[in-house]
Chains A and B, each alone.
Chain A
């Protein structure tokens, strides 16, 4: 049985969170109009899942489970970022953490693609 059935949906979920997070980072650093409300919502949903180990959606649950243990931040760190995202006001330290998260999502997306290409029964 190939893993592509699972991985292709997982890839799309990573892609969706990754895209939204990049838009949010651009919005915070340079141009607020780049991020839509949906981008803010997706990003907050992912960070909230990392903070609370409870997911409002299957997508956030699967993606957060792949990132757990791979990011050097505590649940408390993520919780602070959730409140800041809700206010749409993040300090430099929080932005750095979001940037690390964005790179982890990118690494995981690349890894998912490699698993799809080398998938075996």
Chain B
């Protein structure tokens, strides 16, 4: 947490489920700066995913406030706008629509952004080419390997040139070789775009790549290592 006006900041954020019977987050304060690379780690059920879901606006906190660029994010519509234009997401389960080809899945994220159909298609092709899938444009997700699917998801997540990329266990469903390729790709993209990058993982090796490590346990941040001037790998 460095600058006075971080890109995204969570202030005293709590999240409880089942009328308070299950508490996932307990008054968490965390802020991510522009261009920062933070890794969130913690054991299963510690609240990592809840934290990322709240950062992405997938879920509403039961207490506290989320600020984007210094202003509180007031409603679901504002979150939708942020996800369309400023926040990209990559998840463990790839989250591709099964009826759409790789190309169409990437295009899907650009619908409603003001780009023409041709512009959307052109950018989607470029992105898939960039992630090494130019030969797989017309393939449906079920015809792609896990690593390929995740690369489609990564291409989709950056299609609208976001300022923040949230990634929840992006290698969780991949073999070690594909996992290494995906991490390499994410880091390369981050290096090119300078976007802020929040990566959730319980893989220590991957966690070590981050510039800042946030450790969460039982819904509380138990360790927030100050940003280090690490070289971006």
**Does A pair with B?**
no
